[in-house]
């Protein structure tokens, strides 16, 4: 996929083919993308947990909140549609930099693009409770988890739709159950000088 197509396709997906697992080599390549991410002062304070066991994937899934903008019955993936793999991103609370969120964002961008290039969809989940995720994954007390990324082969499509600056930006499902993600036009959000 060329970069434009990749960026277009790398949307948020929330329904997957749960019976299609991600190949081990593909997991390695997704994880390899971490080291190519820029980070503040190249300190590399973030840590990661690759959640591959079916049991842990299910537990993390059960403690994540999906599509806050949509009614609960369509927002959350149902059995058979759930993600098959997660990466949890851990922050070292003792060495947390002011740029931690930027570092997280850049890594997430790499992870999700590396996956997208293989036709693997993803959903970034900020609505996870650190205490619960800590219980499930058992990481060191110096670390906290404020975001996980879910992965799987999507069974729905997602596309962006340009909107005017005064229109509602909430994403929605079309009549086929595909995601439509409204995005503002470049002309309305970029000032040229
Ligand atoms: C920091 C961050 C946190 C997010 N948290 C959640 C979440 O908890 N649950 C969820 O379903 N989607 C979550 N999303 C996905 C956003 O809803 C999604 O990126 C947005 O609707 C735009 O869609 P797009 O990614 O296809 O452009 C999160 C995205 C980001 C960047």
Rounded mean pLDDT, 172-181 = 96
Given pLDDT bands bounded at 50, 70 and 90, which one contains residue 58? very high
Q: How far is the CA of 193 from the centre of ligand 1 (A)?
A: 31
Given 3.30.70.260, 3.40.1370.10, 3.30.1300.30, 2.20.180.10, which CATH number is that of 157-193?
A: 2.20.180.10
Every domain of the chain with CATH number 2.20.180.10 lies at 157-193
Q: Which of 121, 124, 152 is nearest to 22 (CA)?
A: 152
Q: What is the mean pLDDT of the chain?
A: 97
**pLDDT interval class at 192 (50, 70, 90):** very high
Mean pLDDT (whole number) for 39-50: 97
What residues does CATH 3.40.109.10 cover in the chain?
A: 3-156
Q: Going by CA atoms, what residue is nearest to atom 21 of ligand 1?
A: 171
Q: Provide CB contacts within 8 A for 116, sequence distance 6+.
A: 1, 6, 9, 10, 122
How close is the Cα of 25 to the center of ligand 1, in Å? Answer: 26
Question: Binning pLDDT at 50, 70 and 90, where does residue 73 land?
Answer: confident
What was the pLDDT predicted at 103? 98
Question: Per-residue pLDDT for 168 more than 90?
Answer: yes
Percentages (nearest 5) of helix, strand, coil residues in the chain: 35, 25, 40
Does position 114 have pLDDT exceeding 80, yes or no? yes
Q: Decide: 180 in ligand 1 pocket, CB within 6 A.
A: no
CATH number of 3-156: 3.40.109.10
175: three-class secondary structure by DSSP = coil
Indicate if ligand 1 lies below 6 Å from the C-beta of 80.
no
What does 81-136 look like in DSSP terms, one character per residue? SS-SEEEEEEEEGGG--TTHHHHHHHHHHHHHHHHHTTT-EEEEE--B-HHHHHHH
């Amino acid at each position: 996929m060329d970069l434009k197509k990749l960026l277009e396709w790398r949307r948020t997906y929330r329904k997957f083919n749960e019976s299609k697992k991600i190949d081990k080599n593909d997991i390695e390549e997704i994880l390899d993308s971490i080291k190519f991410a820029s980070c503040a002062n190249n300190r590399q304070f973030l840590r990661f947990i690759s959640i591959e066991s079916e049991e842990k994937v299910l537990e993390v899934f059960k403690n994540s909140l999906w599509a806050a903008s949509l009614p609960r019955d369509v927002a959350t993936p149902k059995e058979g549609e759930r993600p098959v793999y997660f990466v949890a991103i851990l922050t070292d609370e003792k060495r947390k930099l002011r740029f931690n969120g930027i570092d997280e964002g850049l890594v997430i961008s790499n992870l999700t693009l590396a996956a997208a290039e293989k036709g693997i969809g993803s959903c970034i989940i900020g609505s996870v409770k650190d205490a619960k995720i800590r219980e499930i994954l058992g990481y060191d007390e110096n670390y906290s988890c404020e975001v996980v990324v879910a992965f799987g082969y999507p069974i729905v499509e997602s596309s962006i739709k340009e909107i005017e600056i005064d229109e509602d930006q909430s994403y929605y499902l079309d009549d086929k159950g595909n995601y439509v993600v409204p995005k503002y036009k470049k002309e309305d959000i970029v000032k040229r000088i």
